[in-house]
Amino acid sequence: MTQNDAFISIQNVNKYFGKFHAINDVSIDIKHGEFFSLLGSSGCGKTTLLRMLAGFENPTSGEIYIDGQPMSGVPPHHRPVNMVFQSYAIFPHLNVRDNIAYGLRKQKLPRAQRDALVDEMLDLIKLPDYGDHKANQLSGGQRQRIALARSLILRPKVLLLDEPLGALDKQLREQMQLELRALQKTVGITFVFVTHDQEEALTLSDRMAVMSNGRDLQVDTPTRLYESPINREVASFIGTMNFFDGRVKALTNGGAEIEAVGLGNLCTSNIPPNLKPGQSVCVAIRPEKLSLSRDAQSGFNQVKGRLDNAAYLGERSHYYVSIEGVSKPVAVSVQNRQRANGNGENQCPVWLSWEDNAFVVLGNG
Amino acid sequence: MSITNGPMPDDATGLRKTSRLGALLQRSEAARGFTLLSPTLFIMAVGILVPIGILVVMSFWTQVGFGFDTTATTANYQMAAERPIYGALLRRSLWMSGMATMATVILSYPMAYFVAFHVHRNKMMWIVLITLPFWTSYLLRVFAWKVVLGYHGVINSALMNLGLIEAPLEFLLYSQSAVVITLAHAWAAFAILPMYVSLEKIDKSLLEAATDLGDGPIARFLRITLPLSLPGVISASLLIFIPTTGDYITPTLLGGPDGAMIGNLIQKQFGAINNWPMGAALSIILMLSIGAIAVSFMLIANFVRKRIS
């Protein structure tokens, strides 16, 4: 049995395809009613993990529990989960209504009750007049909603979503993200969502797992994953990050003083456990946590650099600043609150400053 | 061409003409389609429409000695309706080729299914292997069945040697079942290939989705795989039913008196009996019956597809 209150418990799961180690000792607990995302680049094993939850693949070793029940040996059509496929897999020979009612047949409901359930679903996905349409008369967004309705009508304990928004264009995708999130709150079903789009994962999830090469690197809330990534791999996967080599100078009360190459001394409380004085570490900072100015500010947390490059992106601008002793230019993101008055001449001297605790000390590995 | 010092006006008009034709081809997809089709259309017109026209016209003539009386009359059709032998032979032909079609499709479907879903490497090799027997002549394969089914054939002598039967089974050869068995084997490739193509086209995620929504293997097959492969089953059925109904080689060699089909009679009308107008009328009747059956079969199949899904 599971030793905690997790609704889905993935315990020490390994999966080999021949000699390829697709899933490498993954253990993840997912709570009831949670919107949980598996984030990773293609080939990281996130879809394999999802397919193991659905029952289409079996773990080579380890066990998956759903609602306390071990799932090994349980075929897909007997599991309390349903899946929304990447291609949506809408049955082409059926109309929308029959597609949505597909899984109800087993329950042998009276016709009137079945029709009422389907109508309810058509309302929920905002396609009330589309019941008699054929699958090939639908747009991508509509297919996506029908795939959702077809699964949700069965009231599964868990809904699995395999990159369901990947095939949609940007605007529709953002709209569907909001709808999906609202829908999940309405129905209260646990969602496990696979995506390679970090922004999507950050927007939608209660918690998420970052995966790479078949391993789960970090499982946490979007905020903590973004603000306090545990290592360089996670930090560079989500958003942009500037990295600096450094050395622990001293441990202070709940934090540390670090001597970083090119930056001098800095203080932060974002530190991994078991940090020792004298240890070499990697410190990192997000581009939007750096401020840029032409003149030196009062205070300590600043360093002089040279403006290398600038990019105007509309709501914000990205600047790249080279600092003596640091090989890669440092990325700085500045919001264009006032109308940008030019990007500044290249090579002009600038000052970078930051607040206390803006830096993160990354663990090794 | 235009580089040489040829007469300028001619060259110019020639150029304009080709460019006009080119422009037409560019603009109209229908024109492009007909251009591509034209060789086939020509052959079809000359090789199919003209002979059928002749057949239709001739079916209204009558045979007088060695010549034809070309006054139009429906006497041939009346005779075909009145004499029970014609109707009986036609019904038997349709029945036998219907049986052969059903046997072929039912036996070939699993093969097509296997190659489409369970062969992952060297699919092409499997397809070639399946069609391999069909590289030998049709006549040879029919004779081979004669050897297998014959009075002292493979089956009978094997059963007798095993002591399972005392005397050879006589119903094996020169019977309707012999014709059905032979036709089912002879036309298997024509059933496997279209069914394989339509099974192969089925998106595997549809099958996973059906499983995910609670269907076991049998329900999934009946609700997804079968309806989606029905176009292949229909074309396989028609591909076999249409040519086998008029077949006369197999019934001649293996059918005996019980296994004779309408094709044998038509052949005799054009041969020994020498009544071409009657043969023409019988051919037209055969064509019309096959056409009617094919159309109603397609309608029924469509209806069934809507019902099971």
- One domain for residues A160 and A305: no
- One domain for residues A293 and A150: no
- One domain for residues A69 and A159: yes
Spatial CB neighbours of A257, under 8 Å, sequence gap ≥ 6: A248, A249, A250, A251, A265, A266, A267
Domain boundary among A176, A210, A233: A233
**What's the pLDDT tens digit per position in A36-59?**
999 998 889 999 999 999 999 999
- One domain for residues A104 and A195: yes
Chain A residues with beta carbon closer than 8 angstroms to that of B212: 54, 76-77, 81-83, 151
Residue B4 has pLDDT above 50, yes or no: no
Residue B251 has pLDDT above 80, yes or no: yes
User: Residue A85 and residue B224: Cβ atoms within 8 Å?
Assistant: no
Tokens 């078949």 belong to residue: A214
Predicted local distance difference test score (pLDDT) of residue A339: 57
Say if CB A332 and CB A319 are below 8 A apart.
yes
A61 inside domain: yes
- The strand ranges marked E within chain A are 8-17, 20-30, 35-39, 61-66, 69-70, 81-84, 158-162, 190-195, 207-212, 215-220, 242-252, 255-260, 264-268, 280-285, 291-293, 302-312, 316-322, 330-335, 349-353, 360-362
Residue B9 has pLDDT above 80, yes or no: no
Size of interface A-B (CB pairs under 8 A): 55
Please count the structural domains in chain A: 2
**Tokens in use for A103?**
């899984």
A13 inside domain: yes
CA distance A84 to A154: 13
Say if CB A46 and CB A210 are below 8 A apart.
no
A54 inside domain: yes
**What's the pLDDT tens digit per position in A69-106?**
999 989 999 999 999 999 899 999 899 999 999 999 88
In 3D space, the residue among A313, A308, A314 whose CA is nearest the CA of residue A350 turns out to be: A308
Q: What SS3 string covers A124-171?
A: HCCCCCCCCCEHHHCCHHHHHHHHHHHHHCCCCCEEEEECCCCCCCHH
CA distance B290 to B191: 18
**What's the pLDDT tens digit per position in B261-279?**
899 999 999 999 999 999 9
In 3D space, the residue among B215, B60, B54 whose CA is nearest the CA of residue A105 turns out to be: B215
- How far does B191 lie from chain A, in Å, by closest CA? 23
Residue A345 has pLDDT above 50, yes or no: yes
* Residue A278's CATH number: 2.40.50.100
Q: Given B205, B214, B223, which is nearest A89 (Cβ)? A: B205
Predicted local distance difference test score (pLDDT) of residue B6: 44
**Which helix or strand (DSSP H or E) is residue B67 part of?**
strand B67-69
Spatial CB neighbours of A317, under 8 Å, sequence gap ≥ 6: A310, A311, A333, A334, A336, A340, A343
Helix (H, G, I), strand (E, B) or coil at A315: coil
CA distance A9 to A15: 16
Nearest-by-CA chain B residue for A106: B214
Determine the structural domain holding residue A162 and report its residue range: 8-233
Strands A81-84 and A158-162: parallel
**What's the pLDDT tens digit per position in A110-153?**
999 999 999 999 988 888 888 888 888 888 889 988 999 999 99
- State what percent of residues in chain A have pLDDT above 70: 96
Domain layout of chain B by residue ranges: 84-308
CA distance A257 to A250: 5
Say if CB A226 and CB A202 are below 8 A apart.
yes
The band of A63, judged by pLDDT with boundaries at 50, 70 and 90, is: very high
CA distance A180 to A35: 10
Spatial CB neighbours of A191, under 8 Å, sequence gap ≥ 6: A34, A35, A36, A158, A159, A161, A184
Tokens 């030196």 belong to residue: A296
Predicted local distance difference test score (pLDDT) of residue A1: 43
Fold of the CATH domain B84-308: MetI-like fold (1.10.3720)
A1 inside domain: no
A3 inside domain: no
Say if CB A239 and CB A198 are below 8 A apart.
yes
- One domain for residues A60 and A208: yes
- One domain for residues A271 and A219: no
- One domain for residues A100 and A223: yes
Say if CB B236 and CB B105 are below 8 A apart.
yes
Predicted local distance difference test score (pLDDT) of residue B8: 47
Predicted local distance difference test score (pLDDT) of residue B304: 79
Q: Would you mind telling me the total number of residues written for chain B in this entry? A: 309
* Residue A89's CATH number: 3.40.50.300
Domain boundary among A182, A199, A233: A233
Predicted local distance difference test score (pLDDT) of residue B3: 47
Say if CB A12 and CB A204 are below 8 A apart.
no
A323 inside domain: yes
Average pLDDT of chain A, as a whole number: 88
In 3D space, the residue among A86, A87, A121 whose CA is nearest the CA of residue A102 turns out to be: A121
User: Residue B208 and residue A85: Cβ atoms within 8 Å?
Assistant: yes
**Tokens in use for B267?**
């052949």
User: Residue A77 and residue B214: Cβ atoms within 8 Å?
Assistant: yes
Mean predicted confidence (pLDDT) in B26-30: 82
- One domain for residues A85 and A216: yes
The band of B163, judged by pLDDT with boundaries at 50, 70 and 90, is: confident
A118 inside domain: yes
In 3D space, the residue among B82, B96, B252 whose CA is nearest the CA of residue B266 turns out to be: B252
Interface of B with A (CB under 8 A): 203, 205-206, 208-216, 223-224, 227-228, 305, 309
Chain B residues with beta carbon closer than 8 angstroms to that of A150: 213
Indicate the DSSP class of residue B137: -
- One domain for residues A169 and A64: yes
Domain boundary among A186, A205, A233: A233
Predicted local distance difference test score (pLDDT) of residue A2: 42
Predicted local distance difference test score (pLDDT) of residue A342: 55
User: Residue A93 and residue B227: Cβ atoms within 8 Å?
Assistant: yes
Q: Given B209, B215, B224, which is nearest A85 (Cβ)? A: B209
Strand partners, A195: A39
CA distance A330 to A318: 10
A312 inside domain: yes
CA distance A104 to A100: 8
- One domain for residues A284 and A138: no
- One domain for residues A329 and A354: yes
- One domain for residues A89 and A17: yes
- Residue A137 to residues A92, A94, A148, Cα–Cα distance (Å): 10, 12, 17
User: Residue A150 and residue B210: Cβ atoms within 8 Å?
Assistant: no
The band of A364, judged by pLDDT with boundaries at 50, 70 and 90, is: low
Interface of A with B (CB under 8 A): 54, 56, 75-77, 81-83, 85-87, 89, 91-94, 98, 102-103, 106, 150-151, 154
